[in-house]
Amino acid sequence: MNGKKEYFIKFILKPLTAWAVLVFTDQATKYAVRTFLYPGETVPLTPFFQLTYLTNTGIAFSMFQGANAVFAVFSAAVVAVFAGWFVVNAPRIDALAKAALVLIISGATGNLIDRLTSGRVTDFLDFFAGGYHWPSFNAADSCISIGGVLLLIWAVKPDRALGGKNAADNN
């Protein structure tokens, strides 16, 4: 395989495919919730988990409601900056950083699509234990949270430097 084709497959096509699968999964689950539930409806599934159709115009955990336009611009900036950084640095970062960035970009894209198409984000995953209730969230939020944790782990790794000794080995 020639160098350009290998580069394209390894650093563009594979991450782009993962992004597409994650965004599709997020949008498909939100579509299902919007199609089969009415706003505010709850469907209990286990003693600690239910589906609850909620929407919000704020950010995580429904903070800063009513600022959809601001968060749409912020989400677009996150996608652009992280995707740009990824494209420039992909050959020099390890698999952990790549996974983190793809997750964050995918989650931000999923919620950005909601903000641009309906002016609000659809949330529906609803966990609770006794009187404690975790704020509802969606697949995109999960991608952003998991990606953020992975990026933090990568940032504190001693061998994380761009082009570090393990970066090429873990692609």
Of 114, 141, 159, 169, catalytic: 141
Structure letter (DSSP) for residue 123? E
Taking the CA atoms of residue 12, residue 17, residue 23 and residue 28 in that order, the dihedral angle to the nearest 10 degrees is: 160
Of 123, 126, 159, 169, catalytic: 123
In the chain, where the domains are located = 26-170
pTM of the model: 0.89
pLDDT for the residue numbered 166:
47
Tens digit of pLDDT for each residue in 99-125? 999 999 999 999 999 999 999 999 999
141 is known as an active-site residue: yes
Percent of the chain as helix, strand, coil, to the nearest 5 = 65, 15, 20
| 160/124: higher pLDDT | 124
Structure letter (DSSP) for residue 51? E
pLDDT for the residue numbered 61:
65
CA atoms of 18 and 21, how far apart (whole Å): 5
* pLDDT interval class at 65 (50, 70, 90): confident
CA atoms within 13 A on the CB side of 66: 0
Type and span of the H or E element at 39: none
Is the pLDDT confidence value at 42 over 90? yes
* pLDDT interval class at 168 (50, 70, 90): very low
pLDDT for the residue numbered 14:
95
Is the pLDDT confidence value at 167 over 70? no
Q: What is the mean pLDDT of the chain?
A: 90
Tokens of 32: 């299902």
Least confident range from 35-39, 56-60, 110-114: namely 56-60
pLDDT for the residue numbered 161:
56
Intra-chain end-to-end CA distance of the chain, in Å: 16
CA atoms of 171 and 101, how far apart (whole Å): 14
